[in-house]
Amino acid sequence: HRWTRAEWSELDPDAYRHCELIDGDIIDMAAMAAPHALATDHIHERFTLSLQGVDACCGSQTPIIIDDYSEPEPDVWVARVPRFALRLGKPTPDELSLVVEVADSSLRSDRRLKVPLYARAALPMVWIVDVTDRTIEVLTDPVPSELRYASSVRHTATDAVVAPWGVEFRVDDLLFQRR
């Protein structure tokens, strides 16, 4: 059975608390180890602070809407509209400017399941934060018909990564790496 977002919303949320809907399939989310949780929380905090005074909002581990069959929960997302202006209460592809997937054990599944999904939806920018290798890969220029991004740049500890709203973040700062 290919689940729709409407059917998904009718299911018991407690029974599916650690799942997300991707292409009509209910997918178990990987357990989150401490480095993953720490990086996710810190990135969300840094984004929230940097967005003050900007007509935008961010969320962490809450659903975004991709299409009628997909409602993934990225680790962090940023929408280019204020929260009250989200058309459907959850950000949609035309409202999103950045999606961040923090990965350790989930790295392979994020690349296999989520990156193609985000490319198909033409999300303009995706960051893959690899807490094991302590890098951030920035994916831009989606090619929806090929389910991929045309540009991929990997940033290491001392590199700066520029967010869509123009703020620069050092990789080692986002990952709590001592300089």
- The string of pLDDT tens digits covering residues 2-33 is 999 999 999 888 888 889 999 999 999 888 88
- pLDDT at residue 179 in the model: 44
What count of residues does the chain have?
A: 179
Cβ distance 124 to 99 under 8 Å? no
What does the block give as tokens for 41?
């929380």
Cβ distance 62 to 90 under 8 Å? yes
The residues facing 168 across adjacent strands are 162
- The string of pLDDT tens digits covering residues 52-81 is 999 999 999 999 999 999 999 999 999 999
Backbone dihedral angles phi then psi of residue 129, each to the nearest 5 degrees? -95, 110
* C-alpha span between 119 and 101 (Å, rounded): 14
pLDDT at 177 over 70: no
- pLDDT at residue 55 in the model: 92
pTM (2 d.p.): 0.94
* C-alpha span between 140 and 130 (Å, rounded): 17
Give residues with Cβ within 8 angstroms of 59, minimum separation 6.
44, 76, 77, 79, 91
Closest-CA residue to 137 (of 111, 117, 116, 164): 111
- The string of pLDDT tens digits covering residues 107-142 is 888 999 999 999 999 999 999 999 999 999 999 999
